[in-house]
Structure 1
Amino acid sequence: MGRADKVSIALLSDEDIPACFHVLSKSFGHDAPFVDIYFPDHDTSSGQEQGSKRLMVWKQTSENSIFLKAVTQTSQGDQEHIIGLAIWTYMKEAPPAELDKVENVEEVWPNEDDRKFMVRLWRDYVIPRTQAIKDSDGKGVYVLELLAVHPDYQRLGAGTALVKWGTKAADAQGLKAVVEGTPVARRLYELCGIHAEIEEMRFDVGEEFIGRRKPKLIFMTREPKFEQDCG
């Protein structure tokens, strides 16, 4: 596989959604419990079709979300190749604690236990960002809702560029940037000036789900700066 040496960031189009969801699935594999339950069967054709549909709806209905892609070009320079994606959202109001306010829960999680587990995870997942919004004195925060880079194209700077795009936008608006980060991505975020505020987010899913994998997420934040400090 050829390794392109130039990475650029652009807004992704509706047509890019399936390729971007494929990158998302490859990026996380089955190492991220939250991604596994939030995007059921994301590495199957049916799961990718459903996941792509959900991203499309999100993109077309959220005025405050910016969908970005990281691309390289082929050696001939005539065809771009999507290697990463990020979704940044300007969030001024707290997200709903009830998942059915933002998702068709019966359709996405037809299994009742899966649905109940995801509903409980979501309830706790939104607590830190909700508090950050409350603490913003009405300004809101800039949330990195999703970051994924294809494993075959990591260490080319795509992740850094996608994060840097958002922290620069947050700085321009004087907003705090926040992310629920995985331990694997922690170093990248720290290099971009985003640091742990909650070392391990708490998920109280009840005794009936004691045997299920719970997400290991770090709530990380970055105060706005006048100069970008992500190299």
Structure 2
Amino acid sequence: MMRPADKVGVALLSDEEIPTCFQVLSKSFGHDAPFVDMYFPDHDTSSGQAQGSKRLTVWKQTAKNSTFLKAVTQAGQGDQEHIIGVAIWTYMKEPPPAELDKVENVEEVWPDEDDLEFMTRLWRDYVIPRTQAIKDSYGKGIYVLELLAVHPGYQRLGAGTALVKWGTKAADERGLKAVVEGTPVARRLYEQCGLRAEIEEMRFDVGEEFIGRRKPKLIYMTREPKF
């Protein structure tokens, strides 16, 4: 745990640090976020973490408009740095593909046909609000917080706030709207950083055959740029 003298900072994430950050992601969400559970299958197992880390590494290496950040704590000179949080901010000028198989190796990640179909339908609805925001930007684009996770042992210490404000500052500098599909648990944090709910509960039409599965509870939140 942190000591009173510890400070939280934000820095760019290296490829080598992605496995550590994926463990933070898994511990942060546990099994309380259905979208995370489906998007990163078995994320709390060694095989799931290996696969998730591999996917994040490919994302980081191929998406030039995505910035991977870490929140770190370091008590003083010579003390070991601890990664306690992770965030991914993306400058998005083109609408994301509505078809999951255009952004993921779907057969490898979701070998079960029902899981794949369920995730495909979730994804199709998930990208609708940000797609509309991009269309409404008249070519400027938006700044999207695609992932935010803070280790449960280091929450309420400012890591989440620092990671969010890094992106809202970058959005302001570009004159762009910032958006996030946030969980209800994180709502207060986002509101403290200036984001406001535009859609109180995002809609996921997954069909009658998946009525027994947990659907995500996500709030679509936005923040206008401050000049």
Q: TM-score, normalised by structure 1?
A: 0.96
CA distance in 2 between counterparts of 1:173 and 1:74 reads 33
Q: Are 1:182 and 1:217, in contact at CA under 8 Å, matched by a contact in 2?
A: yes
Q: CA deviation at 1:122?
A: 0.1
Deviations 1:153-179 (A, max 9, x none): 001100000000000000000000000
Q: Are 1:2 and 1:75, in contact at CA under 8 Å, matched by a contact in 2?
A: no
CA distance in 2 between counterparts of 1:137 and 1:61 reads 26
CA distance in 1 between counterparts of 2:191 and 2:2 reads 29
Q: Are 1:5 and 1:156, in contact at CA under 8 Å, matched by a contact in 2?
A: no
RMSD (Å) for aligned C-alpha atoms: 1.0
Counterpart of 1:216? 217
Give 1:24's aligned amino acid.
L
Percent identity between the two aligned chains: 87
Higher mean Cα deviation, 1-10 or 131-140?
Answer: 1-10
CA distance in 1 between counterparts of 2:131 and 2:42 reads 28
Map 1:89-168; keep pairs closer than 5 Å.
89-168=90-169
Counterpart of 1:173? 174
Give 1:198's aligned amino acid.
I
Deviations 1:105-141 (A, max 9, x none): 0000001100000000000000000000000010000
Give the 3-state SS of the residue equivalent to 1:114 in structure 2: helix
Q: Are 2:6 and 2:76, in contact at CA under 8 Å, matched by a contact in 1?
A: no
Deviations 1:178-223 (A, max 9, x none): 0000000000000000000000000000000000000000000000
Q: Are 2:7 and 2:75, in contact at CA under 8 Å, matched by a contact in 1?
A: no
Q: CA deviation at 1:75?
A: 6.2
Query: Which segments of 5 or more consecutive residues in structure 1 lack a partner in the other structure?
Result: 227-231
CA distance in 2 between counterparts of 1:61 and 1:9 reads 22
Q: CA deviation at 1:5?
A: 2.5
What number of residue pairs does the alignment pair up?
226
Give 1:131's aligned amino acid.
Q
CA distance in 1 between counterparts of 2:66 and 2:76 reads 32
Counterpart of 1:185? 186
Counterpart of 2:33? 32
Query: Which segments of 5 or more consecutive residues in structure 2 lack a partner in the other structure?
Result: none
Q: TM-score, normalised by structure 2?
A: 0.98
